[in-house]
Homo-oligomer: A and B are copies of this chain.
Amino acid sequence: MAATPQTAAPAACALTERHLRIRRLGIDTYQEPVVFLREDCHVCRSEGFESQSRVELRHGDKRIVATLNVVRAGGLIELAEDEAGLSEVAWRSIGAAERDGVSIGHPAPVESFSHVRAKVFGHEFTAPALEQVIDDIGAGRYSNIEMAAFITACAADRLNTQETVALTQAMVATGSRLSWAQRPIVDKHCVGGLPGNRTTLIIVPIIAALGLKIPKTSSRAITSPAGTADTMETLAPVALDVPSMRRVVEREGGCIVWGGAVALSPADDVLIRVERPLDLDGDAQLVASVMSKKAAAGSTHVVIDVPVGPTAKVRSESAGHALAWQLIEVGRALGLHVDVMLTDGTQPVGCGIGPALEARDVLAVLRNDAAAPADLRERAIMLAGRIVELAQLAPPNSGTALAAQALADGRAWTKFQAIAEAQGGLRVPPTAREHHIVAATQSGDVLGIDNRRLARIAKLAGAPLVPAAGLDLHVKIGSQVEKGQPLYTIHAQSLGELHYALDYAQAQQQVIALGTRP
């Protein structure tokens, strides 16, 4: 019995390490690393581990934290007493070989969660506190429920501008950061919430065709049926690493790649895995997520599209102004020129909702098809024009004409194909196996369209995980329809998903509101 704790210090490390051989179980636990140990394994006994304990696995310099599931001896899992079974993500993260030896022990307690607790109880986050939290999240030290608590504590208007700036800077600090020889480096972003608003795939080639550099990184869907990266992926590879992305931009002036692969803000990508099922991303999360990626991408001039509508992510002009103010303030704090456009968010843009269906609309616009959705074309030209003006390539009110010209004369389409080729080759978007037309149950004018519930139907149909899934909208606000006329068509890859989407659609009233115009 030692008389002072000091004497125990060196022993501790040795004693809390135990060696096991790892086995790949082939269990997909999504993104939460899980390790399976036998209940009679010496580590469980000596360390007092139980299910849901957070354990640290070490292999050489590599350390990962995983959630423990204890396995009953004589169960259906072929694990020996001295083996640790790893889930797929744990297997990938540790990067070792079958039956390699790993040491396993208690991870250091995640002290930074006390800052989250303090925030929940009404204290402000300090910049150092947010650095610790984001650093721990980026390193995978937070469990899913700890991240859910952090996200909830930051949601809505719970972070002030100072905290949001600190959160943004912390996110930039966790990842790689691009720097470019010349400036301006322009960029655009849409805060989303508007199905089908896939202007990026049109704006980037227009801007690049006009000679500006636009290294665009996009996210996959968080709570929507499709993110720009999901849509672009149906047309070309998007998971490029930094050197490849740089090569594309040097050569073509622009790119449309997935931000996750270039790890410009890795903590944000980790948080997204919890924000997504919670369908809960607040203003501060949103601003930090957007601005951290712009700053890390080395952008100097950024135009942000904020669709406003009763069922868009931003529901009112005033909410739009508040968000715009935060975006501009945080941008300034990071040394970026930010311009925000509040746009019409009353109904979806284009016809398709879902990666492949939106890609089809984009191609129609780029190719100047007569049948191309006019609303998508106009939005893209308007935003591209604003970028051109912000970058001072054209005087105020003349950017739109410049952008329209680059699209009309085919330079944008040529540039898009060149970018797609540079990213790994232009692809043809997939089409779904199952279709179901939802028809009008009465005649009348389309008075309103519920973006959220349409998005929900597209998600239940499988989007974005099934790229061909989603829905195709056949009407716009103001359309006159007869009873029995198609309103939208649901696209799905499996009958189960088709019916799941239908079950929900049928339970809803007025997703597309029909009536007589006052």
Contact = CB atoms under 8 A, between A and B. Distances in A.
A499 B155 contact: no
B502 A145 contact: no
A154 to B, nearest CB: 10
A30 B48 contact: no
A518 interface: no
6 contacts: A2-B436, A3-B439, A8-B498, A12-B502, A144-B144, A149-B151
A28 B73 CA distance: 11
Given A24-B75, A47-B494, A145-B145, 12 more contacts: A1-B436, A4-B438, A8-B499, A26-B77, A28-B69, A28-B71, A46-B496, A47-B496, A143-B277, A144-B144, A148-B149, A149-B151
Nearest to A144: B145
A503 B465 contact: no
A404 interface: no
A151 B24 CA distance: 35
Contact of A506 (B5, B51, B144, B280): B5
B506 A145 contact: no
Interface stretch (A117-125, A182-190, A202-210): A117-125
Contacts of A221: none
A92 to B, nearest CB: 13
Contact of A436 (B8, B36, B45, B122): B8
Given A16-B500, A51-B28, A500-B106, A506 B6 contact: yes
Given A5-B502, A149-B152, A496-B48, A75 B465 contact: no
Given A26-B75, A156-B121, A502-B12, A497 B2 contact: no
Interface string A10-50: 01100110000001111111100000100100000111101
Contacts of A69: 27-29, 87
A30 B54 CA distance: 13
A147 B498 CA distance: 29
A274 interface: yes
A76 B77 contact: yes
A153 interface: yes
Contacts of A499: 8, 11-12, 15-16
A21 to B, nearest CB: 13
Interface string A102-113: 000110010001
B26 A117 contact: no
Contacts of A126: none
Given A50-B465, A502-B5, A15 B496 contact: yes
Contacts of A78: 76-78
A495 B120 contact: no
Contacts of A120: 152, 155-156, 280, 282
A145 B15 contact: no
